[in-house]
């Protein structure tokens, strides 16, 4: 469905026309551009947009099917960019991703959004409050969406860092560190970091191309105003910070998992030492009682009056001796 359609001229908005070809013609006639926003369009709904703006069929297929990696593709009549906004859900401490596809061409910008998170209405309103930026044409739409997406990455990275600190406290807590659910929580958190990385990592190359700092050097990107490069460099710098943060989280969660497994192993060794110590202490009286429990008629001290108290005293003395020995060695 079409969420919004407007024509922009000299940095100011005028409502779009019902007919897409009329809106595009009107935008080109006044030296402006038309921005059409769609949310999860059907193939039939998007067919009109494809015909009016001459979008490449491969890009159209990607826009309809979604589930794409962040990328930038240049076609004859348009530029196609895929972004993956990330949403942090505080109730479940989970990360979910959506998709935004952006088509830029001569006098038009078409955005296709998949998922309920990260609506573009706020981005449009913020951009409309900056006429000097809107004057740069469709490039301003790409910049505004990329900037908002990466800025939200920073917020999500901060939330994940907070979750990481809570997980660290749980792992190294003497009371909770041995919980059976701890390893499961660590693995779930690692999956969240991986989901975040899939959104932020592949976006680095498209942004460096837009910023003019990619492998191609200073070559420009078609349908993107060269004067917007400093803006994209700023977004690229923010994304670099995000990717560094994600790398740090990934390494740290792996270290935490290793530390948790090591702690579990140490606790198991401690338990085994305690069990072994108590078993050794129980073996001494068991051995003595077993010897004197044999049904032989001729045994030393069997008919001695003080034999029973003597055996009890010997057992007690040996138990005290073993207890102090194991205690001193830290086994008990």
- Ranking 45-59, 78-92, 256-270 by mean pLDDT, the lowest is 256-270
pLDDT tens per residue across span 92-120: 878 889 999 999 999 999 999 998 766 78
CA angle 321, 279, 289 (to 5 degrees): 75
| Contact present, 113 and 39 (Cβ < 8 Å) | yes
pLDDT tens per residue across span 128-178: 999 998 988 999 999 999 999 999 999 999 999 998 888 888 887 766 555
Cα 30 vs. chain centroid, distance in angstroms? 44
pLDDT band (50, 70, 90) for residue 214: low
Q: What is the pLDDT of residue 178?
A: 54
Alpha helices (H) along the chain: 20-29, 43-53, 57-65, 121-128, 131-134, 138-171, 181-200, 204-211, 229-292, 307-328
Q: What is the pLDDT of residue 220?
A: 79
Strand order in the sheet with 71-74: 12-15, 2-9, 33-39, 108-114, 99-105, 79-83, 71-74
Rg of the chain over all Cα atoms, to the nearest angstrom: 35
Contacts of 279 by beta carbon, 8 Å cutoff, 6+ apart: none
Average of per-residue pLDDT across 245-249: 93
Q: What is the pLDDT of residue 308?
A: 75
Burial zone of 185 (CB within 10 Å; 0-12 exposed, 13-18 middle, 19+ buried): middle
Q: pTM of this prediction?
A: 0.78
In the predicted model, is pLDDT for residue 294 greater than 80?
A: no
Q: What is the pLDDT of residue 80?
A: 96
């Amino acid at each position: 469905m079409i969420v919004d359609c407007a024509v922009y001229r000299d940095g100011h908005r005028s409502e779009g026309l019902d007919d897409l070809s009329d809106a595009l013609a009107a935008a080109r006639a006044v030296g402006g551009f038309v921005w059409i926003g769609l949310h999860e369009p059907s193939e039939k709904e998007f067919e009109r947009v494809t015909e009016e703006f001459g979008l490449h069929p491969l890009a159209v297929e990607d826009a309809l099917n979604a589930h794409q990696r962040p990328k930038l593709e240049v076609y004859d009549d348009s530029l196609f960019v895929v972004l993956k906004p990330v949403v942090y859900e505080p109730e479940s401490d989970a990360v979910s991703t959506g998709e935004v596809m952006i088509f830029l061409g001569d006098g038009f910008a078409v955005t296709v959004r998949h998922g309920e998170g990260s609506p573009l209405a706020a981005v449009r309103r913020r951009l409309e409050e900056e006429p000097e930026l809107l004057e740069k044409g469709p490039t301003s739409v790409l910049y505004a969406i990329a900037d908002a997406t990466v800025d939200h990455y920073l917020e999500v990275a901060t939330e994940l860092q907070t979750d990481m600190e809570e997980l660290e406290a749980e792992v190294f807590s003497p009371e909770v560190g041995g919980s059976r659910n701890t390893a499961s929580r660590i693995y779930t958190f690692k999956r969240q970091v991986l989901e975040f990385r899939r959104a932020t990592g592949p976006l680095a190359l498209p942004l460096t191309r837009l910023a003019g700092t990619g492998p191609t050097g200073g070559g420009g990107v078609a349908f993107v105003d060269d004067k917007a490069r400093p803006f994209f460099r700023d977004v690229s710098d923010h994304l670099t910070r995000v990717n560094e943060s994600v790398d740090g989280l990934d390494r740290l969660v792996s270290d935490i998992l290793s530390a948790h497994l090591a702690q579990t192993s140490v606790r198991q060794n401690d338990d085994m030492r305690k069990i072994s110590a108590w078993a050794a202490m129980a073996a001494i009286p068991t051995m003595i009682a077993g010897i004197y429990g044999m049904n032989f008629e001729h045994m030393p001290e069997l008919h001695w009056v003080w034999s029973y108290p003597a055996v009890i005293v010997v057992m007690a003395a040996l138990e005290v001796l073993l207890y102090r020995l194991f205690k001193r060695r830290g086994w008990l």
